[in-house]
Structure 1
Amino acid sequence: MTVTSTTAPDGAHTAACGRRIRERTLGQANSPEPVPHDLVELIAKEIEAHCGHRPLKAFRMATGWTVTEAVQAAHDLVERENLRKIGLTERSWKDWEAGKAPSAEYQDLLCRLLHTGPVRLGLAADYTPAPTCAGSPDGATLPAGPADAGAGLEEVAATKRRTALMLTGLALAAPATAAQVLDQAAAEALEFTRQAEASSLGAGTLDHLDLAVTDFNDAYSIKPPQQVFTEALDYRRKVDAVLKARHTHEQGRELLAYAGWLSELLAWLAHDLGSPRTGLAFANDAFIHGRQAGHGELSAWAMDAAASINLYEHRADRALNAARRGLTQAPATHPLTVRLHAQAARAAAADGDADGFTASLRAAEDAHKFLPSRMAYRFGLDPLPLADYALTSYPATACIWLERSDEARRHAEHALQIYESAPAASRSPSREAIARIDLALAHAQLGAPDDAVALGTEALGSDRVVDSVRNRAADLTAYLTRRYPGHGAAGELRERLTALSTPA
């Protein structure tokens, strides 16, 4: 059976050609399920030789995966085998298929995922001497194998590109002039390529940054915020230094994005440490770097942080502006769109705008209906639950401000249930504490001060009493003092909060 091929701009065949090879080979083998590994190997070698793809891409196509499916399979493998969390994205996978070397950790993950070794995936070289023909007195080597065939394909592609130059109109010029122009053009092309690839960025630097941001996200709810802030700021400074050094345009965009992700994290950490000015400065920095990197999602995350910080600083108008600014950047079917609409609802409530709250909350609920069932992880974290949190905890706070006590209690109870049922590695002590304080305020408004004090005490016993928790606890104690001035336990709660707010 002949496989009809089409050619991509880089000279390699399109994905459709590889799919036809896979389907033909599986059909000849009676379509076994599951597909044996040796058959996948055979298909990968044929795709590599026939289509001109690099080994990793050929192996992925032989497995029958798209890039999206391969990335998801890698995340599933990490979760299933309890490996170190990763921040793998489709961009990184495509870079590897284009020839960019992954870090040692990602190389190991690829080999685990595809059940093969680094040499077979084109990630490492094999320096074993070539075997000689048995009985050959002069030690003649065996005929060229698949690796040599791949090299031949590259030369064929290069020859086609050189031949294509003749179609540009140079053939109409005098032969001697055309030859001179072509020789000069060849020299210029080499220099263009050298300049485009010139970089002082060390091998594996971008993969290292990916893992570092993943580690910081893991540490956010576990380690003391001051420690994480100091370490993340050190990395942010290093990325700034690398941005000022020589790098390619593509590397520059990635570095801008990593700088933005670190600034987004630093914005939240500064907020936790009680410095809104610093938090907003880093949120703005993250937004700008996201715009420069062409990364709308990053810019939207930055505005999500800015909206929260402004709300805690009682700047409802600025919080609303930040949420709306973020919505211009957020993908429509992303949890961020839900969060930002919910942020706008909370900002409207803080400003006493009940109609604005209802409209924005409805928009958040509508956006939630169109979220996919699964999403790529964001630096090792699943972003989908963040939409669920926003649809429960944000309305709880908003209903407190609007004095809709029954609704506030219902939302806060639901939020607490979601937080407590999350996997241990994903739980957020500070979010749980704020949900308890919202529930406490709802009980206080409903005339149950004892329940309110009990919930407030439990919240202040959290492992992570950051500034946002203390801020909401202050709202609770202030309300209890006004509404129940003679309540002794409420006074004790206020004293405990004062002790937690006083520097050691």
Structure 2
Amino acid sequence: MGLTSFCGRQGILGSSMGGCIRHRLCQAGRQPLRTQAGTQRKAVHDISCGKALRERLLGEAGSPDPPSPALVARIADEIARHCGHRLLKCRRIAQGWTVAQAVQAAHNLIDAEGLGPFGLSERSWKDWESGVLPSPDYQDLLCRLLATNPVALGFARDYSPSATDGGAPLLGEGSDDETLPTGPATRTRAGSATFTEVEATKRRDAVKLAGLALATPAAAAQILDQAAAEAMEFTRQAEASALGSGTLDHLDLAVTEFNHAYSLKSPAAVFDALLDYRRKTDALLKGRHTHRQERELLALAGWMSELLAWLAHDLGDARTGLAFATDAFVHAQQAGHGQLCAWAMDAAASINLYEQRPDRARQAALKGLTEAPRDHPLAVRLHAQEARAAAADGDAEGFHTAYRAAQDVYQYLPPRTPTRFGMNVLPLADYALTSYPATSCVWLGQADAARQHAERALATYESAPAAARSPSREAIARIDLALAHAQLGDPDDAVALGH
């Protein structure tokens, strides 16, 4: 693999309730939505509303760190009651985790307690939060992780007698069963629903508003029967899919394995195999699938194209690399995956830079920064890309401004950094802050600064564990150091380092 193979890639909160539209409507006195049966259905608030509730309740409890399981449970109950999310999502928000952080915490638990093999992914977690029931093994894992029980996570119902209703069966805490009426006036001892005359009157009023009162009883019944049949067809169409049950899992695993193979196998071999998968994913996108599956496929296609961009770059074809970087960005946008948009622009920035197009490299880095999370190592890397592009363009002031921005973001990264396909991405930020400024200072003719940065980069790479050593990066650091020595008038050391 050439030196450019690792130039840019290897192995790769404050919230406000103001943005929650449904919360504003609720506060303005709007009535909750109702189903056709006349029962109340909770309006689901934006996730920012749940985060704001969490911050408020934590503050009222004295901001304990970490919060006790009892406090987390109370926060989750309040989020479920107020925001209408499913219980697993409420518990995750109450814990203060993103989906990625929740999955990482689960893997940490699996490793720490020596649990059996689990193939837990972010996609699986999102499925569970949308209502898919986990298998018993995964239910047990989630209950361990969140220190609770299946009822509290919405996986089961609690039928134990209630002290307030004379022994009527209870729904699971915060149940998402939106079709069952609430309140003592509508509950029977068997748990089935009966309705008061008030509720029946409301339904009749709704029918009149729909115009059915103008029809004969027989015609009205026929219209309602037809509407019921249409509703069933709407549901069937929404769930219709040509994808097999394990297709998305297989593609998710394939993308992970291709990313691991990137630094271990020939770029030509990986490119050919990955391109075949990318074509198959494109065919699946043209087939029949649900909207949720479409978003997953778009994201998987984007990840494949992002890696194909780097592979094409390694193979010396910048045009193909940039085409795949653009494709990754477009698919990420369609999937609503901002972080993937940023990774795609990171690839575009590096490719343009090595093609002697620093202005386009700078534009790509800035475009990526509009999508990258502020507290993510990727933001550090993109600021460093901007700095490197400015240096290549001879803009010393632009280099120093962007480099300081990269350092500022790095300083405030969270203690637990995220992973990408199971690998820690913090080293990518470390690399950008050491090697990029060395190369940049060489280009700007700042020889002494280039020497210092290159020496620091070389020391960092040489001290890495054997399994994490990167010969390519060490070679680049030595070349930068050699060029710095040459600029300082020390050709002998420059030749030795170049060797």
Match of 2:376 in 1: 334
Asked whether the 8 Å contact 2:42–2:178 carries over to 1, the reply is no
1:180-191 equivalence runs, <5 A:
180-191=222-233
Match of 1:131 in 2: none
Which of 229, 233, 237 is residue 195 of structure 1 equivalent to?
Answer: 237
Deviation at 1:200, TM superposition (A): 0.7
Asked whether the 8 Å contact 2:384–2:433 carries over to 1, the reply is yes
Which of 215, 222, 231 is residue 257 of structure 2 equivalent to?
Answer: 215
Deviation at 1:360, TM superposition (A): 1.9
Which of 104, 113, 117 is residue 72 of structure 1 equivalent to?
Answer: 104
Which of 308, 314, 337 is residue 272 of structure 1 equivalent to?
Answer: 314
Deviation at 1:8, TM superposition (A): 10
Cα distance, 1:414–1:441 mapped onto 2, change above 3 Å = same
Segments of structure 1 that go 5 or more residues without pairing to the other structure are 1-6, 24-32, 125-143, 458-504
Deviation at 1:239, TM superposition (A): 0.9
1:73-112 equivalence runs, <5 A:
73-77=105-109, 80=112, 88-89=121-122, 92-100=124-132
Deviation at 1:11, TM superposition (A): 5.0
Asked whether the 8 Å contact 2:151–2:172 carries over to 1, the reply is no
Which of 170, 193, 213 is residue 173 of structure 1 equivalent to?
Answer: 213
1:125-136 equivalence runs, <5 A:
none
CA–CA distance in structure 2, aligned partners of residues 197 and 182 of structure 1:
23
Match of 2:473 in 1: 431
3-state SS of the aligned residue for 2:264? coil
Cα distance, 1:358–1:312 mapped onto 2, change above 3 Å = same
- Cα deviation digits, residues 336-372 of structure 1 (max 9, x gap): 2222221111111112121221222222223333433
Which of 249, 256, 259 is residue 298 of structure 2 equivalent to?
Answer: 256
Superposition RMSD in Å: 4.8
Segments of structure 2 that go 5 or more residues without pairing to the other structure are 1-31, 35-39, 58-66, 157-167, 183-192
- Could you tell me the TM-score, scaled by structure 1's length? 0.67
CA–CA distance in structure 1, aligned partners of residues 418 and 220 of structure 2:
51
Q: Identify, as 1 or 2, the structure richer in helix.
A: 1
Deviation at 1:246, TM superposition (A): 0.6
The sequence identity of aligned pairs, in percent, is: 64
1:55-454 equivalence runs, <5 A:
65=95, 68=98, 70-77=102-109, 80=112, 88-89=121-122, 92-100=124-132, 156=180, 167=206, 169-170=209-210, 173-174=213-214, 176=217, 178-422=220-464, 426-454=468-496
3-state SS of the aligned residue for 1:173? helix
Counterpart of 1:156, as a letter, is L
CA–CA distance in structure 2, aligned partners of residues 452 and 365 of structure 1:
29
Counterpart of 1:445, as a letter, is Q
3-state SS of the aligned residue for 2:461? helix
3-state SS of the aligned residue for 2:372? coil
Deviation at 1:311, TM superposition (A): 1.1
Asked whether the 8 Å contact 1:333–1:371 carries over to 2, the reply is yes
- Cα deviation digits, residues 237-284 of structure 1 (max 9, x gap): 221111111111221111111101111011111112222222111111
Counterpart of 1:277, as a letter, is R
3-state SS of the aligned residue for 2:424? coil
Higher alpha-carbon deviation: 437-446 or 396-405: 437-446
Counterpart of 1:184, as a letter, is Q
Cα distance, 1:151–1:408 mapped onto 2, change above 3 Å = closer
Counterpart of 1:381, as a letter, is M
CA–CA distance in structure 2, aligned partners of residues 119 and 108 of structure 1:
12
CA–CA distance in structure 1, aligned partners of residues 353 and 489 of structure 2:
26
Cα distance, 1:283–1:54 mapped onto 2, change above 3 Å = closer
Asked whether the 8 Å contact 2:306–2:324 carries over to 1, the reply is yes
Cα distance, 1:393–1:72 mapped onto 2, change above 3 Å = same
Match of 1:137 in 2: none
Asked whether the 8 Å contact 2:154–2:173 carries over to 1, the reply is no
Counterpart of 1:336, as a letter, is L
Deviation at 1:231, TM superposition (A): 2.3
